[in-house]
């Protein structure tokens, strides 16, 4: 299935934290995002070259995980087409929401596994003040030195009991296309990588093995170079951040990665895909077998156990 | 103007050379492309991760410069829509061509400055043999070590007497959108950067100051990392290649660049844009003033004179 | 103990292989060394910026492991001083050898664990022919593109049953100083890193756990940048080389590393120490406790089992 | 002449500034050094992995340039040998100084061009407090993220009317050896690169063309990777620092470089030499001819005019 072009890109992700202050300190000082605004319940963050007001909404909560996932439509008409398609589907519709200061009305709906999505057209561009005005007018704000300082939001990974069903949801509601996937020997799909544009993926879904529902596996921002990630590893080390795995190169998608846990336990990644893009309009999904996956990551690193089980919110009996 | 989505991506560029053997040796051994096929008049080359049979057609000629520029359509229907739009325009139509072994029928047309373009849908995917089969099935062929070894075709730059008119051509025929441009004090547009997808640009046009017609400024392939370009600089140095300027960072588009001349004099670039993409569907073109351009490149490097005058084919009185 | 300054640097290492042709193909085409000469029994190899005729002697054998380790003295007088010190010691003296075409007379002696060392003054500088003459006269030969293309020999690691005793040998015979070491809870030294100059280390010795004698753990060449190692990882992957562990960063010495096994099973490393040097003349050895080592490598990677047991020649019951 | 081994390494450089506050802000926040201490007249700075209390003494003054250059001896005996050699020479002796809080008694002397040198043995190691304690005990302090964050002091460059005479001074007083030099057609030495250890150079002297006396050309700190310098270029850009030239690669010594001017006008560099070291005890100086130098830097960048004339303190009629 070719992509519909109605959805332009992943817009932002809302992350829940039961350690709001520590999480905010991590994301701004160590991970390297910038704070656009903060209210009683949430902080609105963005990478230095994200053009919108926020790409990460960090929300104070009694749990962790993902609050909602937002995609921006390609036009007002495209938004209407998507809303019609979703309303015509069998998926749960939550209706219009205008609670975020970072964009206009958003149409909310839910996947079969409890993840809340929203799509919107009207947005709020980030307007840098004098202190944050970049030297080069083609960047959204000053390049910042703090922490990992990723350039932009890249993707997120959600856990679901049935990846095949999740795929139907993404194709139906967002018109996403699949770029790579894992075909398990038992006939199930172990994981699926989706994109709505030329990025190799903006959302991945892997099979839930932790027993939870509506869980988040990780959220990722992109760095300009692989060296930025090696440097970030030292920054995480110096700041006592739990480095789960990496830096290393994924076999799937070939992305250079580094996974850490923010203070509340949500897994966050820094990644670099090099110059890789999906430009072919008729790209055939790359299908990985279970045998191929057993080889580990690109350079042979074995996938560590927690990567298969840890998600947020945590599931007591599994974590 | 929002992009039409009818055109998927830049497909390939045909380069003319009056030193065919030296040029072919340069592109394969030093610049680092792979040879897909070769006939009496042309060699068909591609970067190691280009998915099509060729992205560079190197053609034996008594001159230099660009033979034709090819874009791949997003679907058969999209191709038909574009053909209709071009036929309805006032631009010169050259009709259908099926001379290239790398793709199906291509509809050819010409810009007002003598550059030949073509659009096509049917393509020939590169099929690696055992020697060229990659270790990771999501890459088009083996990562190769020779020379600069760029990953994929990135963009080209054409010279035109009237960039404003060239812009109308690109918007009308390809539905390209402008991401950045130079506004001269004399009211003219000094340069314009176009894209049909999420790449920051796939074609640039700068004002012709050399007095020629239908000239090429340069063709560029993308590397995964900036370090690949620093390494390539040493390779070019060891091979006696004329390094014109760089490595350095462009102010416009922020691309890290290195320009060299292949044996016949055609300018070729290696570039890396980091993680920068144009994801906003309503991106406002960044407009650079003449004063801003006088600051030189991002880190202050002055643009060298030959960059303003050298194009191919050469124009005696200017080069 | 301050260093004696009598020994200038590690000169070369002789590696034995029972798969001579495959090993030679690996070292020249994949690992990226250059062939200086070859005779019936050995091939003489060097990195592109090694100033001597060879830094790796690859010798046809019915086993694997290390043949001998050579250090170059700082002067003829320094060589005599070292010879006198060694002869006055209780270590086994093998006498003068002039079998290598790459240097003059070498004085050979043996450590208590069966490793043969030699020291020499007269050497044979590598003289590049026209094809190998570098563009910059301050490099020993052309920068080459093949494989990992490390810049120079860096260090080697030997296994010994008693690292404390090995340390006495290095200090007595070579005047080496210890820069870092592992202090085990059982009172033994688990590993010791030595240097004779400003390099952080040129030889390491770790406790033999495989049950062998006179075994080699690995030989290492240095790359200019960490990115060269990430790139090499892809080259090893494409060439089916067994990547044992890495790329990652060592906690001890902070070196960025990648370990692979050459066709005969000898472990070889590519490493980059960044700008780190030991400049302090009174450097106090950094002592790591067993608890600290349990944290794994710098960014948390657990040391894999084979790293503790695999050495060459292999010991059947342990490997 | 082989090196004497009496001098271990360049210890620190004192820089004068007539814009103390701006200069201190630059060195700590933008260039990326750490502040060890500050008194009424000076600030004592070091890179994050410099083992001594300070490697840069920034002193409030009514002018700019270099205050003094300090080298650390290899031992107390070595210090005495050097002092005797200097006192036996015809060079100006200034006697013992103990004004610096960062080390013990220093023996001061002067070169024929007005540069003050000192040598010392007793030093004060940097002792990190809890906030600055590194995660890895083999680094001198926490890896810091601010600014360029170089790893250690690397070298400085002084201007002198007669480089041949300056060379005699360095060999006589410090036992430095020459690794590379420029032989001008007029028979004079245009520049000379010196080292007392395995670094490719720790001090360079180039012919004074600005008409001044005792002037400084630049001071340099080393980064771990070339990418750190590309990143620093963006940081300098965002902070409005005057980038004079680079990033690029020197032909002489092959160092990757970036030169900027700190607020008072003193030129400072960030450099990376990759894995290049001078290990040969009998290294023959590489001699560059005027013709070879006319080729510009390694990749063809022409040396800009200010590089030949700008030094500190400035000389009115030349700057």
Task: Number of A to B CB contacts under 8 A, please give it.
Answer: 108
Rounded to a whole number of angstroms, the distance from the CA of C300 to the nearest CA of chain B is 25
d(CA B236, CA B239): 5
Touching subunits of D (3+ CB pairs, under 8 Å) are A, B, C
d(CA C20, CA A191): 44
Residue A200 near residue A179 (C-beta atoms within 8 A): yes
Whether chain B has a CB inside 8 Å of the CB on D240: the answer is no
pLDDT along chain D (319 residues), means of 10: 77 98 98 97 98 98 98 97 97 96 97 98 97 97 91 98 98 97 97 98 96 96 98 97 97 98 98 98 97 92 90 74
Residue B117 near residue B14 (C-beta atoms within 8 A): no
Tokens at C28, concatenated: 């020249």
- Residue C113's pLDDT is 97
- Residue A216's pLDDT is 98
**Nearest 10 degrees: CA dihedral of B52, B56, B62, B63?**
140
Which residues of chain A are within 8 Å of residue C234 when distances are taken between CB atoms?
A: 249, 298
Provide ipTM, 2 decimals.
0.96
- pLDDT per residue as tens, chain C (319 positions): 334 799 999 999 999 999 999 999 999 999 999 999 999 999 999 999 999 999 999 999 999 999 999 999 999 999 999 999 999 999 999 999 999 999 999 999 999 999 999 999 999 999 999 999 999 999 999 998 888 899 999 999 999 999 999 999 999 999 999 999 999 999 999 999 999 999 999 999 999 998 899 999 999 999 999 999 999 999 999 999 999 999 999 999 999 999 999 999 999 999 999 999 999 999 999 999 999 999 999 999 998 889 989 999 998 644 4
Q: Which residue of B has its CA nearest to D298?
A: B237
- Residue A222's pLDDT is 98
Contact check, Cβ <8 Å, D224/C275: yes
Whether chain C has a CB inside 8 Å of the CB on D154: the answer is yes
Tokens at A115, concatenated: 């993840």
Whether chain B has a CB inside 8 Å of the CB on C139: the answer is no
Contact check, Cβ <8 Å, A135/D227: no
Q: What is the pLDDT of residues B268-290, one digit of tens each?
A: 999 999 999 999 999 999 999 99
Map tokens 């960025």 to a residue: C256
Whether chain C has a CB inside 8 Å of the CB on D226: the answer is yes
% of chain D exceeding 90 in pLDDT: 91
Whether chain B has a CB inside 8 Å of the CB on A251: the answer is yes
Mean pLDDT score across all residues of chain A: 95
Residue A10, Cα to own-chain centre: how many angstroms?
8
Find the CB nearest B299 among D227, D247, D299: D247
Whether chain B has a CB inside 8 Å of the CB on D256: the answer is yes
Q: Which residue of A has its CA nearest to B296?
A: A136
Whether chain C has a CB inside 8 Å of the CB on A148: the answer is no
Task: Give the pairing type, strands B256-261 and D216-222.
Answer: unpaired
Rounded to a whole number of angstroms, the distance from the CA of C43 to the nearest CA of chain A is 29
Contact check, Cβ <8 Å, D145/A146: yes
Best C224, C230, C232, C241 residue to mutate vs chain A (most A CBs within 10 Å): C230
pTM: 0.97
The larger pLDDT score, comparing residue D315 to residue A53, is at: A53
Whether chain B has a CB inside 8 Å of the CB on D278: the answer is no
- Residue C149's pLDDT is 93
Task: State the DSSP H helix or E strand holding residue C154, giving kind and residue range, or none if neither.
Answer: strand C152-160
d(CA D106, CA D112): 19
Best B148, B230, B232 residue to mutate vs chain D (most D CBs within 10 Å): B230
Residue C45 near residue C55 (C-beta atoms within 8 A): yes
What residues in chain B have per-residue pLDDT under 50?
A: 1-3, 317-319
Contact check, Cβ <8 Å, C136/D226: no
Residues 169-198 of B with CB under 8 A from A: 180, 197-198
d(CA C56, CA B269): 37
Contact check, Cβ <8 Å, C135/B225: no
Q: Which residue of A has its CA nearest to D223?
A: A231
Q: Which residue of D has its CA nearest to B258?
A: D299
In what side-by-side order are the strands of the sheet with A34-38?
A34-38, A42-46, A56-60, A7-17, A65-73, A116-120, A106-110, A92-97
- Residue A315's pLDDT is 86
- Residue A2's pLDDT is 39
Best C231, C235, C299 residue to mutate vs chain A (most A CBs within 10 Å): C299
Which residues of chain A are within 8 Å of residue B227 when distances are taken between CB atoms?
A: 225, 227
Q: What is the average pLDDT across A262-277?
A: 98
Which residues of chain B are within 8 Å of residue D244 when distances are taken between CB atoms?
A: 300
């Amino acid at each position: 299935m070719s992509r519909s072009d109605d959805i332009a890109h992943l817009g932002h992700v809302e992350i829940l934290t039961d350690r709001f202050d520590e999480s905010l300190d991590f994301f701004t000082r160590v991970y390297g995002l910038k704070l656009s605004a903060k209210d009683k319940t949430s902080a609105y963050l963005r990478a230095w070259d994200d053009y919108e007001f926020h790409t990460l909404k960090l929300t104070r909560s009694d749990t962790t995980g993902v609050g909602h996932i937002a995609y921006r439509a390609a036009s007002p008409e495209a938004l209407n087409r998507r809303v019609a398609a979703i309303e015509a589907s069998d998926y749960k519709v939550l209706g219009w929401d205008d609670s975020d200061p970072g964009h206009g009305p958003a149409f909310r709906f839910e996947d079969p596994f409890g993840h809340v999505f929203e799509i919107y057209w009207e947005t709020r561009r980030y307007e840098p003040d004098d202190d944050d005005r970049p030297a080069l007018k083609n960047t959204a704000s000053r390049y910042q030195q703090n922490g990992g300082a990723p350039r932009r939001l890249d993707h997120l990974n959600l856990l679901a009991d049935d990846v095949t069903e999740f795929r139907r949801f993404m194709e139906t509601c967002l018109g996403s296309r699949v770029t790579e996937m894992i075909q398990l020997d038992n006939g199930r799909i172990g994981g699926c990588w989706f994109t709505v544009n030329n990025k190799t993926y903006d959302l991945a879904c892997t099979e839930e093995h932790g027993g939870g529902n509506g869980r988040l596996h990780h959220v990722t921002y992109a760095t300009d170079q692989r060296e930025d990630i090696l440097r970030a590893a030292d920054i995480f080390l110096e700041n006592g951040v739990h480095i789960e795995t990496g830096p290393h190169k994924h076999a799937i998608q070939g992305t250079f990665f580094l996974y850490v846990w923010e203070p509340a336990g949500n897994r966050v990644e820094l990644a670099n895909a090099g110059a890789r893009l999906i430009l072919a309009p008729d790209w055939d999904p790359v299908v990985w077998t279970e045998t191929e996956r057993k080889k580990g990551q690109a350079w042979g690193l074995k996938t560590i156990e927690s990567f298969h089980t840890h998600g947020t919110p945590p599931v007591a009996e599994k974590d």
